[in-house]
Amino acid sequence: MATIGFIGAGNMAEAIIKGLISKKVYSCDEINISDISDNRLDYMKSAYGINAFKYNNLVVSSSDMAVLAVKPQIAGEVLESLDDFPCDKPVISIAAGLKIKKITDLLGDIPVIRVMPNTPALVGWGAAGLFANKKGEKHLPDAQKIFSAIGEAFVLSSEEDMNIVTALSGSGPAYFFLFMEEMINAAVELGLDEKTASELTMQTALGAAMLAKHRSDAGEKPEDLRRKVASPGGTTEAALKELENNQLGAIVMLAVSRAKQRSEELSEV
C-alpha cells in the first residue's frame, strides 16, 4: 500500500509498525519514521529495518500518508513546523484529544483521519476507533485496512465520540494490566510463587477475553459469563461481593470519566 510515514516513533508508533510488518500490510522499506531522538531512530531502524529520518518534513515528503504520532502537547508545534504541506496528502492523527480542526487550521484543508488505536496492535489484537473529515473520507478504506490488519477498526459516527473511545479502548489496556498486576500481587501475598501467579493470571485474562468475544456472537454478555463462573455459595460469589461492596463499578466509572475529561482537556492545549 504505497508508503507510510510516522512523525514520532515512540511506543504507539512502534506497536503499529511492528503489527503492520508482521501482517505484511507494508514491507519495511515502505515505512518511514522521524523522531527527535537519534537513539530512538537508531533502535527503530535496526529493530525493524525501516527508513529513519531526522527531519519530520522529510518523512512527509517521502510518504504517501503521514501518521502524526507525537504527544498531543507538542502536536501543534510539530504541525506548524511542517512546511508547505501538500493539500491532497492524507494525515492520520493518533494524538489523544487533538481535534481535526486544529490540524486543518495549521496544515490547510487536507484529508484527516483521526484514529484512536491501542498498544495490543503490537501483537495483532488492537482495537481502534476512526473518524475522518469530509476530505479524509475517501482515504477511510485505506485507514480501515491498516487498523483492521492489526486488530479491529470501528468507524465512529462523530468526532466527539473519540474522547470516550480514548478513555475506553485507548487507555483500556492499562486498566486491565493494573488489574492483572493486582491479581498477581494478591496471589503472591497469599503464598503462591510469582512465576506461577503471573502465568495463571495472564492465561486467565486471555481465556476470559477470548470466551467473552466468542460467546458475544451467540448473544452472551460478560455478565452472563460471570454468572456461569459464580456458583451459588461458592468462591467467586464471595469475591464478587467484596468487589461490589467496595464500589468497583463506581471506581471504573470515575476512572473512565476522568480519562474522557483529560482527553477533552488535551483538545485545549
Ligand X SMILES: NC(=O)C1=CN([C@@H]2O[C@H](COP(=O)(O)OP(=O)(O)OC[C@H]3O[C@@H](n4cnc5c(N)ncnc54)[C@H](OP(=O)(O)O)[C@@H]3O)[C@@H](O)[C@H]2O)C=CC1
Ligand Y SMILES: O=C(O)[C@@H]1CCC=N1
Q: Which residues bind ligand X (CB under 6 A)?
A: 7-13, 34-37, 40, 56, 69-72, 74, 78, 94-96, 116-119, 170
Residue 104 or 166: the one with the smaller Cβ distance to ligand Y is 166
Beta strands in the chain (DSSP E): 4-7, 31-34, 51-53, 65-68, 91-93, 112-116, 126-132, 151-155
Query: 3-state class of 128 per DSSP?
Result: strand
Residue 119 or 133: the one with the smaller Cβ distance to ligand Y is 119
76 interface partner picked from ligand X, ligand Y, none, CB below 5 to 8 A per type = none
114 interface partner picked from ligand Y, ligand X, none, CB below 5 to 8 A per type = none
CA neighbours within 13 Å on the CB side: how many for 269?
16
In the complex, which residue's CB is closest to ligand Y?
170
From residue 208, alpha-carbon distances to 168, 184, 203 in Å are: 18, 16, 8
Report whether 12 belongs to an annotated binding site: yes
Report whether 213 belongs to an annotated binding site: no
204 interface partner picked from ligand Y, ligand X, none, CB below 5 to 8 A per type = none
Report whether 172 belongs to an annotated binding site: no
> How far is residue 204's CA from residue 231's CA, in Å, rounded to a whole number?
18
Binding site residues, ligand Y, CB under 6 A: 96, 166, 170-171
Binding residue positions for NADP(+) = 7-12, 69-72
Q: Which residues are annotated as a binding site?
A: 7-12, 56, 69-72
